[in-house]
Amino acid sequence: DAEITQSPRHKITETGRQVTLACHQTWNHNNMFWYRQDLGHGLRLIHYSYGVQDTNKGEVSDGYSVSRSNTEDLPLTLESAASSQTSVYFCASSESRYNEQFFGPGTRLTVL
C-alpha cells in the first residue's frame, strides 16, 4: 500500500546544530508540504513543492530549507536549530491542488 513516512519520529538536538527531517511518499504525488504544529497556532506551512526541482517558501520558512531531487522525497533541514523550532513537524503530499493532503505520522523535535 502506498504511504507517507517520516523519520526520525522523535529527535532531541542542541541549539546551533543542523538537523534534517526526512519525508518519503510512495504515491508518486507531485505536491509535497512541510508543516509545523504548535499549541495555539494550528498547522503552519513551512515549505512546499509542486514537483521535482520546485520549492517554495511558506508562511514560516525562516531558518528552514528544502530540496526536491526526486518525486518521493522532500527533506526538511534546520540550518542552525533554535529553541523556537521545538515543535511537531508534519509532512504531507497530494496529487494536485484539487485533492486531499495525506499526512505523515509526524516528527517531534526538541531543541535544547
C-alpha cell at 12: 532531541
Q: Strand, coil or helix: what is 85? A: helix
Tally of helices (H runs) and strands (E runs) in the chain: 0, 11
Q: How far is the CB of 67 from other proteins (least distance, A)?
A: 19
Greatest Cα-to-Cα distance within the chain, rounded to the nearest angstrom: 39
Q: Which is nearer to other proteins, 17 or 107 (CB)?
A: 107
**Residues found near other proteins in the complex (CB under 8 A):** 33, 35, 40-45, 48, 50, 56, 58-59, 90, 97-106
Please, what is the minimum distance in Å from the beta carbon of residue 45 to other proteins?
6
> Of 35 and 64, which has the nearer Cβ to other proteins?
35
Cell of 75: 527533506
To other proteins, the closest distance from the beta carbon of 59 in angstroms equals: 7
